Amino acid sequence: GAKAAGRNTVLVFESSMYQAVRKRFRIERELREAIRQKQFELYFQPQVDDHHQISSWEVLIRWNHPQQGVVSPMEFISIAEETGQIIPIGDWVLDKTCEILGQCERAGKPVALSANISARQFKDTQFVGNLKKHIRHHQIDANNLTLEMTESLLIEDATATAETMHELAKLGINFSIDDFGTGYSNLKYLRQLPLKELKIDKSFIQNICENNNDAAVVKTMLSLAAHLNLYVVAEGVEEKRQSQFLNKLAKIKMQGYLFGKPIPTSIFLNQWLQNYNKLRDVP
Ligand code: C2E
Ligand code: MG
Ligand code: MG
Ligand code: MG
């Protein structure tokens, strides 16, 4: 009867909640080992200009789990943010990113890379010092490095965040707002930050060809970006018709499976160092 069904529902709910809690603690415990053993790897996804030439790459972390294989950041980044493990993980990402930037520069094939930064990582007292250390150690041109930050990070502790951004911008580091449109940006405040670009969240791109509301929102973001003098990257471009639609609206950069999925470091390096002229110089 209804009573039994209700009781079963509660049991199912409790057991799935219990499983979720158990999984969370398992990941937290295994991340401790992953950090010690450096079980992470950087993947690279191209960002193309309006001529569909690669102009930069986004750096995306993967966890090479000893039993489970490649684990997506969606599975562990939010847990690492809650536990603070994002601080050593994020520092490893920036160290590796700077190492790759240095390697490409010294091969005479400079590359522009964008790395994702969590709020907790950016606010850590060691963040600026450690980043400067990586830049010095790998002797890189900081102009080739972009930090992707979310709108929420820019709004919390706005004054301190702006100060840190200005300090890093003086070194040449660029800033990008990730997942733009999904947060609550204070537009007046955005103007005061040393931003280079905004990345339109993929949720607005997905149905852009058939959903007039999404198209209208994207047009508004493009006009905002133009007024604020910001470059734009459209995320999650999967289909040719989406890129054609976007190309008609404005000169923007695009990123998505249409142009390439994220690839492991070794493949990225081979491709970039061997096909540099083809990827970069052909109009
Ligand atoms: P994000 O920064 O917004 O990165 C874009 C995500 O969209 C990536 O997922 C990418 O693989 C995926 N993507 C790219 N093109 C397409 C497409 O055409 N269609 C669809 N459906 N998806 C596409 P990924 O690699 O799983 O990363 C997820 C999120 O994890 C990232 O979102 C970012 O917020 C976070 N993340 C990744 N690496 C790092 C990191 O090193 N540090 C921090 N703090 N967060 C990271
Ligand atoms: Mg990103
Ligand atoms: Mg994004
Ligand atoms: Mg996203």
Query: Rg of the Cα trace of the chain?
Result: 21
pLDDT of residue 188: 76
* Residues framing ligand 1 (Cβ under 6 A): 45, 60-61, 72-74, 77, 86, 90, 93, 116-118, 148, 178-179, 202, 235-238, 255-257, 262
pLDDT band at 218 (very low <50, low <70, confident <90, very high): very high
Q: What is the pLDDT of residue 71?
A: 98
State the maximum Cα–Cα separation within the chain, in Å, rounded to a whole number.
74
Q: How far is it, in rounded angstroms, from Cα 255 to Cα 273?
A: 21
Residues sharing a CB contact under 8 Å with residue 88, sequence separation 6 or more, in sequence order: 35
Confidence class for position 235, pLDDT limits 50, 70, 90: very high
Counting ligand 1 atoms within 8 A of each CB, the residue from 86, 116, 149, 246 with the most, and so the one to mutate, is: 116
Euclidean distance between CA atoms 214 and 123, whole angstroms? 33
Ligand 3 mean position, distance from CA 178 (Å): 5
Using CA atoms, how far apart are residues 40 and 239, in angstroms rounded to an integer? Answer: 30
Query: Percentage of the chain surpassing pLDDT 90?
Result: 81
ipTM above 0.95? yes
Confidence at 158, pLDDT banded by 50, 70, 90: confident
Percent of the chain with pLDDT over 70: 94
Contacts 24+ apart (CB under 8 A), 185-192: 185/151, 185/154, 185/155, 186/155, 186/158, 187/224, 189/154, 189/155, 189/158, 190/154, 190/228, 191/228, 192/162
pTM of the model: 0.94
Q: What's the pLDDT tens digit per position in 124-156? A: 999 999 999 999 999 999 999 999 999 888 888
**40-63: average pLDDT:** 96
- For the stretch 115-125, pLDDT in tens is 999 999 999 99
Q: Residue whose CA is closest, atom 22 of ligand 1? A: 236
CA of 116 to the centre of ligand 1 (A): 9
78 CB-near residues (< 8 Å, 6+ apart): none
Distance CA 126, CA 147 (A): 16
